[in-house]
Amino acid sequence: MAVGIVTAPKQGDHPQAAGQLSTKNSSLDKDAFLKLLMTQLKSQDPLQAMSDKEFMAQLAQFSQLEEMRNLNSGFQQLLGWQQVTQSAALIGKEVQVKVGGDEESVKGKVTSIKMENGTPYLMVGGKAYSLDQLEAVL
């Protein structure tokens, strides 16, 4: 079975979706899984070795997990780009954004978008507002 090299995109290659969670160090990565599997194979009892079916089932589960992570990463990138497109479409439009917790709002024209850590912010009246603060397009 051939294994290709997988490289992660560099920071800044794509916008990150707001609220994106990092899964780094939160669960087993593929290297840790393979090390665990190799250790299991090395230390198994030769008289009661793991069956081919069990071994293939573990590899299939690992493959499914890896593909689900890749799919999740793709959806996060898609969401990030969708937010950039949505923000850019608001340039030149009159909007109402929420300012504080007291239901205070500000109305103004979106003059540009500002990217900060891969997240787009609407520039209204010289201040940056997230898409979450957008209440209405007037």
Statement: the pTM of the whole predicted model exceeds 0.75: no
pLDDT at 27: 60
pLDDT at 17: 45
Which residues share a beta bridge with 116? 119
Please state, for a pLDDT cut of 70, what percent of the chain lies above it.
79
Cα separations in angstroms, 2 against 5, 75, 94: 10, 27, 55
- Decide: residue 69, CB within 10 A, 0-12 exposed, 13-18 middle, 19+ buried: middle
Domain boundaries, the chain: 53-138
pLDDT band at 100 (very low <50, low <70, confident <90, very high): confident
pLDDT at 10: 46
> 134 with 122: CB under 8 angstroms?
yes
Looking at 1.10.1200.10, 2.30.30.30, 3.30.300.30, 3.30.70.100, the CATH number of the domain 53-138 comes to 2.30.30.30
